[in-house]
A and B are shown apart, each in its own frame.
Chain A
Amino acid sequence: MSRSLWRQASSEAKLLLIGIPVAIWTLLPIYHLVLFALSPRGQAVTGKLWPDHPTLDNFAVVFHQEHHYLLHFWKQLWNSVLIAVAAGAITLCIATAAAFAISRLRVRGGRTIMNLALFTYFIPAAFLAVPMYKTMGNYGLLNSQWALILAMVTIATPYAIWVLKQASDKLPLELDEAARIDGATPLQLFRLVYLPLMLPSMVAVGTYALLLAWNEYLYAFLLLSDDRSTTLGVALGSFLSADDSPWELLMATGLLYALPPAAIYYAFKRYMVSGLTAGAVKS
């Protein structure tokens, strides 16, 4: 009895020996971020685990745009929201339609298009950044938020189509058959049968595209150089241009920037995890 208890305790201790370092490794940079955001100016670097006088003053400075790095905080936050929502919505429309055409309507050449899309998905986006930048210049879209929205749509759609096609292939063919026998048009099939059944996957895909656009740094920074048109992410990066950067303010802004995607991720985790797992690796 006591022996099995002892064994149980030792196995628990072994697990803790893994769990504690994992927790520290995972949380340290995030804890550091929060600590800075809550510390009064110049007091974050005393090496204390928690500030003596935690304060929300940094957030007040950010909200009132009282620092020259933060002159356009609200505008940039709005830009980030706008670009992420637009990219998510457009990706969702294009990908849902394409997946329906490939999977349910079996459009001719659909397989080839799917393969081309997958190919695009697997080419690292960083490699396409410079040609995309030059192209947007040729199209006269540089510094327009459409450039970033369209670039994000381009990057997000291939994976979106693939996930939706996988989900759509799983729907029973009898549904289409029945609808056709009843004289449904393709659009009715799309609206009344396909869309309702695909909703969970569409949530996953829309969230994926939205987060991708919100989190993007490289493309945002290349395509939008004006302080007023750029996103909050790029604004954060620009804090690095000086040595005397106000770290507390940067961390407070960074925390505000990190919260929405984290909240969305956890809210839609159920959809995200299954979608991502299916998408990343099919074994």
Chain B
Amino acid sequence: MSSTLALDSAAKPGRQSAPAGPTRPRLSPWQAWGIVLIAPYVLVFAVFVLYPVAYGLWLARHPASYVHLFDDPVFVRTVVNTLVFLIIGINLKMLVALFLSGFFVRTRWWIRWLSVLFILPWAVPSIPTILSLRFMLNPEWGVINTTIFRLTGADGPNWLNNPQLALGLAILVHIWKSLPFWTLILVAGRLAIPGEMYEAASVDGATTWQKFRFITWPSLQTLYLTSSILSMIWTLGDFNSVYLLTGGGPADQTHVLATLGLRYLRLDLVDLSMATVVCALPFVLPLVYFMMKRLSR
């Protein structure tokens, strides 16, 4: 129906004047085809984004759900965990990525080879590698504790049974997985800096730190900030690092917002699961807004 409307409006006399400017085509077949070609996505969006979101919000409409949610100690713990995960995880990851990007821009044959291997954690699916890490951490047979036992004769810690340790390890797993990607992004950023700037600085006798402080950092800081924000959004949605390593345990003490929804779904409390998402939105939306501003410039 909308396509006929477009045809009508475009067919008005006077509009059909010779080839319209390419920036704003008004010729009817072009608009009509445009609508036909964009329709599949609009359909997908309506059926699988708009409807689920609306339905989710409808499920979370009762204030009682939120009272129930805030009364749940697991929810409070989850919010704290998520903040710890974000603040420590992202800063640590981005700082290491910034440092390593300086390492990977060096031109050595072995660094080239290492950079190929370095991407493996990102290229390989996370399920098998996280399970492999989980087995390494097994208190009885895991390679880490057997090594500790052989070296010191003492039993290693029960890694995943201690909430703080388990959350810390989930953060490390997350970093292990996503560090290569961010390092690569910052490497690309560093390669865009003209080499002459460093040569000139060397001639002037600048130290390594001064080169970083006055050349590298000013060029990279926008990229670094954008990367951190985007990483924050992605980390908020990182389900695998926590769920596959700890399953949210021990005693539901290591959940993050991304895994909590599943817990409530299992407990048959779908309204709480949706209320969790609603509570997360005030934190997610500003980040999303920032990224959209960035990308649609």
Contact = CB atoms under 8 A, between A and B. Distances in A.
Given A32-B143, A107-B38, A129-B262, A123 B132 contact: no
A217 B31 CA distance: 40
Interface in A98-139: 98, 100-102, 105-108, 110, 113-120, 122-135, 138
Contact of B56 (A23, A130, A150): A130
A254 B141 CA distance: 19
Identify the interface centre among B41, B116, B265: most chain A CB within 10 Å of its CB. Answer: B41
Chain B, interface size category, equals 35 or more
Q: Chain B interface mostly helix, strand, loop or mixed? A: helix
B55 A45 contact: no
B176 interface: yes
Contacts of B216: none
Interface in B119-139: 119-121, 123-129, 131-136
A261 B30 CA distance: 39
B203 interface: no
Interface in B22-76: 22-25, 29-31, 33-38, 40-42, 44-45, 48-49, 51-53, 55-56, 59
A257 B136 contact: no
A251 B259 CA distance: 24
A150 B237 contact: no
Contact of A258 (B128, B141, B294): B128
Nearest to A122: B288
Contacts of A218: 239-240, 243, 262
A134 B114 contact: no
Interface string A146-176: 0000110110010001100000000001001
Nearest to A97: B37
Contacts of A56: none
A217 B240 contact: yes
Given A124-B237, A127-B261, A29 B133 contact: yes
Contacts of B120: 26-27, 30, 262
Contact of B297 (A123, A151, A222, A282): A282
B214 interface: no
A4 interface: no
Interface in B174-194: 176, 180-181, 184-185, 188-189
B98 interface: no
A124 B37 CA distance: 27
Interface string B182-214: 001100110000000000000000000000000
A13 interface: no
Contacts of B116: 266
A5 interface: no
A266 B123 contact: yes
A138 B55 contact: yes
Contacts of A187: 33
Contact of A29 (B35, B49, B129): B129
27 contacts: A30-B120, A95-B41, A105-B31, A105-B37, A108-B34, A120-B45, A122-B291, A124-B284, A126-B238, A126-B258, A127-B236, A127-B277, A128-B56, A129-B261, A130-B56, A130-B261, A135-B51, A150-B48, A154-B48, A173-B22, A217-B243, A240-B131, A240-B244, A258-B125, A262-B123, A273-B184, A282-B295
Q: Which 6 A-B pairs have the closest CB atoms?
A: A124-B237, A254-B128, A107-B34, A131-B56, A105-B34, A186-B33
